[in-house]
Chain A
Amino acid sequence: MVLSTQKKVPYFYFKEMILDPKMQNDIIFSIDYGYNYLLREIIVKTNSTIKIDILRVSHNRREEPIYTNLFANNIELSSFDMKKVGTTYKGKIQNELFTFREPIFLRITAKEKNQMDYNIQVVLKGILVNSGVQ
């Protein structure tokens, strides 16, 4: 049994941003030095009806962006209803390990370029793993 020295602890990241749909937007989650992060689930909430793609541009860069709702738990709401409560679904399990040397990088692009700015809230659910580096 380990207590305060637990090597693996659940850790959730949260970021809320206003994004410009005409541009490519990036959200970066940096990981504390000496830790790795096992990403389990992604929860996304946006106030717009437009579709967004999230691309992880890390060590396993994908060639094409993937629709959010294909790999993340997506609560999509109509405009101006950002705070309205949806149903929290269980997201698809990601099981992807990120090291502290390489932050988690989400690239978001809107499918329709003529939309107004939109809010997005992203929660990463995962496990922080002590890598043993001093």
Chain B
Amino acid sequence: MLNVFNKSIDSNAIFTLQSKQYQEKILVSGSCKANSETVLKTSISSLGSFISQFITGSFTTLTKDENENIVDHGYNNLKIKLVDGSNQRQLFNDYIPVDLLLSLGRIRSELATNNDQPTPSQLFYPFEFEYLFGINSEILIYVQNSSDVAQDLNICFHGIRTVGL
């Protein structure tokens, strides 16, 4: 922390730069119906390009028991594939199980009726994902759900917005 005093901080220069590029987090969130596929997407918007640096995410692990009650058993049923919407560039070679990718990972769901839900995962480390999404493009996430119950999925892209590019 002492290093701060070795440099003079030019507030005006920082404000000028910050007005053009600043930290932003973009959330892709949604639900995938039971035994089906869907596409979750979010727009980068016309503000400017977005440089993704890290990804974090969470998902639910629900199923039905023999009495058709919704229970949380801690088994992953979701697979995803990430695609850049502007040019349909596929960034994964195949659908990848979310439990191999995402941290924090599994979260509890209010829908679950069982009291013996496994402990949810905790945020350990965002994984590195450095990619430039262009202005007005979209982030597409193709999702496959093999469970008998709809699953929720949240993925957050941590990065920098560059205004006007």
Contact with B along A6-17 (1 / 0, CB 8 A): 100111111100
Quick one: CB contact mask for A85-120 with B, threshold 8 Å, 1 for yes? Answer: 111111000000000000000000000000000000
Interface of A, helix, strand, loop or mixed by DSSP: strand
Are A45 and B100 in touch, CB under 8 angstroms?
yes
Among candidates B87, B91, B103, B165, residue contacting A11 with C-beta atoms closer than 8 Å: B91
Most buried by B among A75, A88, A127: A88
- In the complex, the answer to whether A14 meets B92 with C-beta atoms within 8 Å is yes
Min CB–CB distance A11 → chain B (angstroms): 6
CB–CB B105/A10 < 8 A: no
Please tell me the size bucket of the interface on A. Answer: 20 to 34
- B50 → chain A closest CB, angstroms: 11
Shortest Cβ distance from B146 into A: residue: A83
For residue A52, CB closer than 8 A to chain B, the reply is no
Q: Is the CB of B76 within 8 A of A84?
A: yes
Tell me if B30 is interfacial: C-beta within 8 Å of chain A. Answer: no
Beyond A1-B49, A12-B91, is A87–B100 a contact (Cβ under 8 Å)? no
A23 at interface by CB-CB < 8 Å: no
Whether, in the assembled complex, B124 has its beta carbon less than 8 Å from a beta carbon of chain A, the answer is yes
CB closest chain-B residue, reference A15 = B94
A128 to B127, CA, bound (A): 16
Using Cβ atoms and an 8 Å threshold, which residues of chain B touch A123?
96, 100-101
Segment among B1-9, B11-19, B31-39, B128-136 that sits at the interface with chain A: B128-136
**Cβ–Cβ contact B125 & A90, under 8 A:** yes
Chain A residues at the B interface, C-beta cutoff of 8 Å: 1-4, 6, 9-15, 29, 40-41, 43, 45, 75, 81, 83-90, 121, 123, 125, 127
5 CB-based A-B contacts, threshold 8 Å: A12-B101, A14-B96, A15-B94, A87-B124, A125-B127
